């Protein structure tokens, strides 16, 4: 049984949908301590930090830890602190191309795997009334870049390169390959 080291509801749904048996537990890791401004470096440090904490918490278990960031090509668009911050972050994505980058670490049957994947979206300009309704809904809370490609942002997708699961916080397609490859040994 795999331990998902995350409190994310979205990651939980991704694993359930993929038919992967798991339980959800997490160990605290302070992402605010990370100083990197590079989105690839930041997401790798964050996911590895979570993974290392979970290795100590769950010594002999199969585990997965992941982290996701959104980048507008210049900077990391983190989780919004409040509604005004969410508006600012979402407007930085409106009518633009963004990268959603997910890093995951897996210990499965004694072996360790690390990955970094990205999905690139080009969005149409967001409708102001729709944006206001999304902000009021609070669905953006806890989301990297306040972005929900499976929700609010979906209707604005102009083009996409990569897996939606990566953008949702866990590249299930690659995780299935890892679990499948390991089972083949």
User: What does the DSSP assignment read for 74-87?
Assistant: SSEE---SSHHHHH
Closest CA to 7 of 69, 82, 67: 67
User: For position 83, which CATH number holds?
Assistant: 3.90.950.10
**Per-residue confidence (pLDDT) for residue 185, from 0 to 100:** 38
Q: Report how many domains make up the chain.
A: 1
The two structure tokens encoding residue 9: 């509801």
**Per-residue confidence (pLDDT) for residue 27, from 0 to 100:** 79
What are the residues whose beta carbons fall under 8 Å from the beta carbon of 54, sequence distance 6 or more? 3, 5, 26, 27, 63, 65
Instruction: Say how many Å lie between the first and final Cα of the chain, rounded.
Output: 18
Domain of residue 70 covers 2-184
Instruction: Tell me whether residue 67 is one of the annotated catalytic residues.
Output: yes
**Per-residue confidence (pLDDT) for residue 184, from 0 to 100:** 43
**Per-residue confidence (pLDDT) for residue 29, from 0 to 100:** 82
19 SS3 class? coil
Active-site choice (38, 67, 82, 130) = 67
Q: Which residues in the chain show pLDDT less than 50?
A: 184-185
Give the DSSP H or E segment for 103: strand 97-108
Give the predicted TM-score (pTM) of the model.
Answer: 0.89
């Amino acid at each position: 049984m795999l331990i998902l080291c995350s409190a994310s509801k979205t990651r939980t749904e991704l694993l359930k949908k993929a038919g992967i048996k798991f339980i959800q537990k997490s160990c605290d890791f302070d992402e605010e301590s990370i100083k990197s401004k590079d989105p690839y470096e930041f997401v790798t440090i964050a996911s590895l930090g979570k993974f290392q904490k979970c290795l100590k918490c769950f010594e002999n278990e199969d585990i997965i830890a992941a982290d996701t960031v959104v980048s507008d090509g210049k900077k990391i668009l983190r989780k919004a602190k409040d509604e005004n911050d969410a508006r600012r972050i979402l407007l930085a994505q409106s009518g633009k191309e963004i990268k959603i980058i997910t890093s995951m670490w897996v210990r499965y049957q004694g072996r360790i795997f690390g990955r970094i994947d990205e999905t690139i979206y080009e969005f149409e300009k967001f409708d102001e009334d729709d944006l206001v309704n999304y902000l009021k809904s609070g669905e953006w809370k806890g989301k990297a870049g306040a972005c929900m490609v499976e929700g609010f942002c979906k209707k604005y997708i102009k083009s996409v390169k990569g897996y939606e699961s990566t953008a949702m916080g866990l590249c299930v397609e690659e995780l299935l390959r890892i679990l499948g490859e390991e089972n083949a040994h």
